[in-house]
Structure 1
């Protein structure tokens, strides 16, 4: 399989700046909900993350969102909850094809530089999970009272909605999606 390659330094740094801002300002927003400057920074970060600029000209992986949409439709979880559930499991499942970006993320967002590649990836995924939980967003299906019994129905809905080849390489098949949902339990 040929992997899409693009050296999007500007897009990467812009995305990393958004993430660093959210990591810095998110906890403050919870602690100081009336702090206008903190809220403005969080809202500005969200606007920049969603306006298309950071994805311009580079491969994009929307699988986390697609898997999350099915959780929202079936179980009524909000989008933040579904992203927090799916993202760590997806990154762990796709760690080999996302290795370079995950290592870059570990270093640039979380300042994780020690250990083997796999140890740094594990640490970055764990740091991401801790951040979501620090923000009050649980990261496992079981945290929402879901035992995984709906996974076959979620996969059927994914298939019905054309979600059979997701990700920037279209290599997240229904079987891979099943493994992601299972790992998110």
Structure 2
């Protein structure tokens, strides 16, 4: 705070782990009262997501802009956002996306506004020293799934993006367990940078992207309050097995280039790659089956209802995951 002595600072705390729209609106009201000209987000993905949404909410003419923002209609000029990252995972410090939950609507959905991309991000790995094992494990798996959602789709002429994705995945596989075990400066540095690169837009350039695991995961978090990363570890292995036929070519490449699988047969290689992924999630301390989150009972019908309310009825890089497929994917999580 000493650095900000020459500035007039108004603090707003209490941002939820999955930031609530209603809380952000309270922050917007305060920011208008004091005529804030910049927002400084100090925290992890939830705080930064809230700040990015807040920048647009302050400038909005409508005091309840959820529907406008969900439709992609944002103010032309918003209050800029800077951030100090304390928990790496989401890459929110350098992307344009906010994931916001509305309590009154019982929804959790992503919002994308390029103007909200932070104008600066301070990333100091030493801030990770105070994080517990659950937070660290969540961070690694969250970043890992961000890469997978952009990489394990349809093959294309994007060798740079694929190669970069594979390096990021191998980095997280190598340094994630070390981070849990020793939380060393080297481990913090490599995980923080990999998490940033996983979702700053570079590896997704020119590739078909999936994000179905994330949409299903958002529904689970909204319904049951399970940590975001832990919903991803629950859903992703089952979803990859369900989609193994259409994703087989990239799954086989992933297995060989990331996990060093030696199988010549693509189907066998793909299956081994999925199994290795599931095992990695377990080693990072995250759930992969519904029994791992007991006594919480997850209902596929409730998930489908949430997705339908959110307008997310055709998921995946080929828009071929609908209600029926979601139910089948979730049935395999048990």
Same fold (TM over 0.5): yes
Aligned residues: 181
Question: Unaligned 5+ residue runs, structure 1?
Answer: none
Q: Counterpart of 1:84?
A: 233
Q: Counterpart of 1:6?
A: 156
Once the two structures are TM-superposed, the CA of residue 120 in structure 1 deviates from its matched residue by 1.5
Equivalent runs, 1:12-161 vs 2, <5 Å: 12-33=162-183, 35-114=184-263, 116-145=265-294, 146-148=296-298, 150-161=299-310
Distance 2:165 2:234 in 1: 21
Distance 1:89 1:161 in 2: 22
Once the two structures are TM-superposed, the CA of residue 6 in structure 1 deviates from its matched residue by 2.2
**Cα-Cα RMSD:** 1.4
Larger Cα Rg: Structure 1 or Structure 2?
2
**Normalising by structure 2, what TM-score?**
0.53
Please state which structure has a larger fraction of its residues in helix: 1
Please state which structure has a larger fraction of its residues in strand: 2
Return structure 1 stretches of 4+ with deviation > 4 angstroms.
none
Distance 1:107 1:64 in 2: 23
**Normalising by structure 1, what TM-score?**
0.93
Q: Counterpart of 2:12?
A: none
| Preserved CA contact (<8 Å) 2:154 2:250 | no
Secondary structure in 2 matching 1:98: helix
Once the two structures are TM-superposed, the CA of residue 115 in structure 1 deviates from its matched residue by 5.1
Question: Unaligned 5+ residue runs, structure 2?
Answer: 1-152
Once the two structures are TM-superposed, the CA of residue 161 in structure 1 deviates from its matched residue by 0.7
Distance 1:68 1:159 in 2: 14
Distance 1:112 1:17, change over 3 A: same
Once the two structures are TM-superposed, the CA of residue 153 in structure 1 deviates from its matched residue by 1.0
Distance 2:182 2:310 in 1: 41
